[in-house]
Amino acid sequence: MGDPLGAAKYAAEALAPGGTVMLVEPYANDRVEDNLNTVGRLFYAASTTICCAHSLSEDVGLALGAQAGEARWAGIFREAGFNSLRRAAETPFNLILEAKV
């Protein structure tokens, strides 16, 4: 996502009060040392070479980092005008986050 903050702001403006956005992201903990496992290493490699590079090539260039955890996303959604963010579900590969306006 080249402009995650812009996308979140757009969603917040489009939703009615109490509206919800669901975000499915590669599973990442907030601390690097908590991601040092087989899946985390694969995600760091892919994110560094694909996701961050793509984001930095966009006009906004807001790369969230090689792995953006729940805390990083909470800050993005809060800045975009959402009132809450919660982890709705998780798998070994994905975080499913629910943000409400």
51: pLDDT strictly greater than 90: no
Instruction: Give the chain's domains with CATH numbers.
Output: 4-100 (3.40.50.150)
Band (pLDDT 50/70/90 cuts) for residue 94 is very high
Average pLDDT score over residue span 75-98: 96
Residue with tokens 């995650």: 4
With a cut of 90, say whether residue 59 has pLDDT above it: no
Average pLDDT, the chain: 93
pLDDT of res. 64: 83
pTM: 0.89
Residue by residue, DSSP assigns 1-59 as ---HHHHHHHHHHHSPTT-EEEEEEE---SSGGGG-SHHHHHHHHHIIIIIHHHHHHSS
Q: Does 66 score more than 80 pLDDT?
A: no
The pLDDT value recorded for residue 38 is 94
User: Alpha-carbon distance 22 to 15, whole Å?
Assistant: 12
Give the pLDDT confidence of 4-41 residue by residue, as tens digits. Answer: 999 999 999 999 999 999 999 999 999 999 999 999 99
What phi and psi, each to the nearest 5 degrees, are found at residue 28? -150, 135
